[in-house]
Amino acid sequence: MNIQALKQETDQLFPQIVQWRRHLHRHPELSFQETATTAYIEAQLKDLPGVELSRPTKTGLVVRIKGGHPGRRVAFRADIDALPITECNDLEFVSDTPGVMHACGHDGHTAMQMALVTLASRHREELWGELVCIFQHAEELPPGGAAELYEAGVMEGVDELYGCHLSSNFPTGTFGVRAGALTAATDRFDIKVLGKGGHSSMPELCVDPIVTGAEIITGLQTVIARNIRALDPAVLTVCQVSAGDAYNIIPQEMTITGSVRTFSEQVRREIPVLAERIARGVCAANGADCAFSYEYGYATVVNDEALTRGVEEGLAGWFGPESILHIEPVMPGEDFSALQKDCPACFVEIGTRDAAKGTDKPHHNPAYRMDEEGLRFGAGLLASILAARLGGK
Ligand code: NI
């Protein structure tokens, strides 16, 4: 493939990308409910030559393009869902649905991947192998759409997987790249201390769940500080505590809820064992009963070393080496991890921060805005990977 020509073509698609993105932005849909979004993507892409569309899940869709030559199977994933937020922006394409907003940039991910499908369709005869573009529903709501698509078999025979996220943490024109663990695994725990309520003046007749719960909260601080290797980053935070209705009644129970973030799968499996041991042990010591539950959320996204080097080379050639930022891991979870179980993968952050344009607000904020110029760079990223991995020599 001729890189200069492909670059020009990608640039020419930019107005179309913006148009797609604005349509999606105006009509956001919540996780697992992306019916109109799926229909829109389908309608826009179905008549392109050489594309095969399928809908393995209720919402979301998969587009396949077979190249003119045999070769590897390369998958890309874009998420398509919006968030339960009322948009607080003055834009001509502001959300038309109160309480729902594309506040994470998934509208941009979808539009960029639609451009990738368009480019691949035009150049299908020159491709070596097969392109699989996954338009994934429900990234924002665990258990997430990725796990469902994986179960439906969309990753079968895929040799490598790519994904990206627009980010107001990085300036427009830059890419956040990292080999190894990129996002934290995000898990949740719930502890219920079951005591025995009664009159505050006669604690000897009760089992006070608040005193027991307080001991558990203090004990939980040792889970990471005293048990996890200092070189393995992990955070355990108690975020919700509830007990009691009156100033003079010892309540029956207390609940303690919190979150755990880790980067290593081994540490991730150790933490619930340690936390449960403390909760049960403290309850037993105080004569209370204990209910402990632990919910695994999204696993860590891990970037393959070789694929990441390949992406960097492509970006350096396309946008110059100064466009690449070598970043630290990022804390938000990503269910992209559910698709990368059987093949190497690479996930890249695309900068959209421009303070002068007011696009420096955090994601998931009602006033979040995207610097659409970042979509030009993101589309270039996808096209550069297409050329490098399916474009032949
Ligand atoms: Ni997101």
Q: Low-confidence residues of the chain, pLDDT below 50?
A: none
Alpha carbon of 158 to ligand 1 centroid (Å) = 23
User: How far, in Å, from the CA of 340 to the mean position of ligand 1?
Assistant: 17
Residue 190 sits at φ, ψ, to 5 deg, of -135, 125
The alpha carbon of 363 and the centre of ligand 1 are apart by a number of angstroms equal to 8
Q: pLDDT value at position 350?
A: 98
pLDDT value for 393? 65
Q: Round to whole Å and give the CA distance between 243 and 351.
A: 44
Q: CB under 8 Å to 52, separation ≥6 — which residues?
A: 63, 64, 65, 66
Distance 47 CA to ligand 1 centre (A): 29
Q: How many angstroms separate the alpha carbon of residue 81 from the centre of ligand 1? A: 9
- Quote the pLDDT of residue 332: 80
Supply the pLDDT for residue 127: 98
In the numeric block, the tokens 């990234």 are attached to 139
Please give the distance, rounded to the nearest whole angstrom, from the Cα atom of residue 277 to the centre of ligand 1: 34
Q: How far is the CA of 136 from the centre of ligand 1 (A)?
A: 12
CA of 213 to the centre of ligand 1 (A): 35
Residues 6+ apart with CB under 8 A from 18: 111, 372, 375
- Distance from the alpha carbon of residue 313 to the mean position of ligand 1, in angstroms: 26
pLDDT digits 0-9 by tens, 43-78: 999 999 999 999 999 999 999 999 999 999 999 999
Roughly how many angstroms between the first and final C-alpha of the chain, as a whole number?
A: 8
Determine the Cα–Cα distance for residues 51 and 62; give it in Å rounded to an integer. Answer: 10
352 Cα–ligand 1 center, Å:
13
